[in-house]
Amino acid sequence: MGAYVVGGAALKIDRHFELGYKDLAYRVVRDCPECSDVDYVIVASALPELSAHQVDLGIHVVQWIGRRVPALRVESGESSGLAAVDLAASLVSSGRARRVLVLGVEKVTEYPTYTANYFYSLTLDYEYEVLRGISPPAYAALAMKELMNSGVRRECFSGWAIRMHENAVSVPHAMLRFKISLESFKDSQVLAEPLTLYDSFASGDGAAAVVVSSKPNEGDSSPEIVYSGAEVGLPAYLRDRVSDLTASVGLLRRAAERLGLDLRRAAVELHDSYTVYPIAILKGLGYLDDRCDLGGFEYLNLSGGLKARGHPVGATGVYQVYEIFKLMTDGLGGRTAPAEYGLAHSMSGPDNSSRVVVLRR
């Protein structure tokens, strides 16, 4: 049995001080007609224990939105969203469920930034990385230095951020819908040399929903989930190079080979928590030339990516799948991607785990 994405919705990623986890979930479901008829709910979320003192968020969400269907929460750090879609596809394919609501929801603004930074750092190994003072931007900075030492220019990373901001302008739910210039990097605060705030994802609360069904919608062409895979990398401190994102690169290569798809012709959403990571992945895949020209990609992170659309940690993967779904169907902010395939890539930490979900129209 197949698994099809038949609908979804997304809230603007923002500092939603007036909305908690349950409110965000309700808001996004309210805006999603397809979300009502479901027999299973999977909530994707990374931080509720830390930011809202809540366990078993799946059940509390379905109770709040007035459903009486089985629910559970999926947590796999930053890649929770794609993990939830993966699980939804397998529930539907196996016949365990008919229509699954995948609900990505995250609050990152319940505490000051330094506390949010601490929560986010816990995607790393608390005992042997976090306690030792290692943080996500420290790894990203080390990876950036490695790439720069191997000839990748600084502008390559800045260029990615500029491109993401351009893409996000027309995306209704994007957090940062404005353009930035190379000039603005000069005044950007350093997180970890040479990495700056402008190399980092936008941090906001968010909720996104997609419905995964065993049957396509009648009369339209719901994209089918034709690939859903995951790979685990080595901890960054055990690699020869932090920037060797072998799990992501290997998984993307395998998905493309298996389906015979060309990433440059597909609607692709790459995990760009820090600008260095998509560049490292594209380099690993052999797509990066000396000029860092990514013009060969027709639909690369049209959402604006984590960089500009934003990164509500555990919800991000659901946003990605929703965006690809929209690009392949009735359009995202007026743009469509008439591609045969749409691919969402997500990872947690610096390639600790990598996940890929591919839709085919």
Partner 1 sequence: MRLSPQQFWRIRENQYRLFITVCGSCGRKAILKRPVCPYCGSDRVHHVESSGLGVLESFTKVYYRRNSSEDDLPKFIGVVRLTEGVRVVGEIVGVGADELREGMEVEAVLRRYASDDPYGVIYYGIKFKPV
Site of interaction with partner 1 (CB under 8 A): 113-115, 117-118, 121, 127-129, 131-138, 141-142, 145-146, 189-195, 234-238, 240, 242
φ/ψ of residue 178, rounded to 5: -145, 160
Place of tokens 């995607």: 123
Find the shortest distance in angstroms from Cβ 52 to partner 1.
Answer: 17
Nearer to partner 1, 237 or 287 (CB): 237
Nearer to partner 1, 145 or 361 (CB): 145
Find the shortest distance in angstroms from Cβ 198 to partner 1.
Answer: 14
Structure tokens at 58: 């799946």
Nearer to partner 1, 233 or 333 (CB): 233
Q: Which residues pair with 99 in a beta bridge?
A: 213
Find the shortest distance in angstroms from Cβ 238 to partner 1.
Answer: 6
Nearer to partner 1, 142 or 294 (CB): 142
Find the shortest distance in angstroms from Cβ 354 to partner 1.
Answer: 17
If DSSP codes are grouped into helix, strand and coil, which group holds residue 41?
A: strand
If DSSP codes are grouped into helix, strand and coil, which group holds residue 105?
A: strand
Nearer to partner 1, 131 or 182 (CB): 131
Name the packing angle between helices 276-284 and 136-149 (round to 10°): 50
Strands (E), 115-255: 190-192, 195-196, 206-213, 224-232
Cβ atoms 345, 269 nearer than 8 A: yes
Nearer to partner 1, 244 or 269 (CB): 244
Cβ atoms 68, 75 nearer than 8 A: no
Cβ atoms 230, 218 nearer than 8 A: no
φ/ψ of residue 320, rounded to 5: -60, -45
Nearer to partner 1, 29 or 195 (CB): 195
CA angle centred on 322, ends 202 and 331, rounded to 5°: 100
Specify whether the backbone of 53 is left (phi greater than 0), alpha (psi in -120 to 50) or beta.
left
**How many residues in total does the chain contain?**
361
Q: State the Cα–Cα distance between residues 170 and 192, nearest whole angstrom.
A: 31
Nearer to partner 1, 145 or 335 (CB): 145
Structure tokens at 85: 């879609």
Identity of residue 285? L
Spatial CA neighbour of 343 closest among 273, 281, 284, 262: 262
Find the shortest distance in angstroms from Cβ 256 to partner 1.
Answer: 26
Find the shortest distance in angstroms from Cβ 34 to partner 1.
Answer: 39
Find the shortest distance in angstroms from Cβ 191 to partner 1.
Answer: 5
Nearer to partner 1, 2 or 235 (CB): 235
Find the shortest distance in angstroms from Cβ 114 to partner 1.
Answer: 4
Strands (E), 57-180: 71-74, 99-106
Find the shortest distance in angstroms from Cβ 147 to partner 1.
Answer: 12
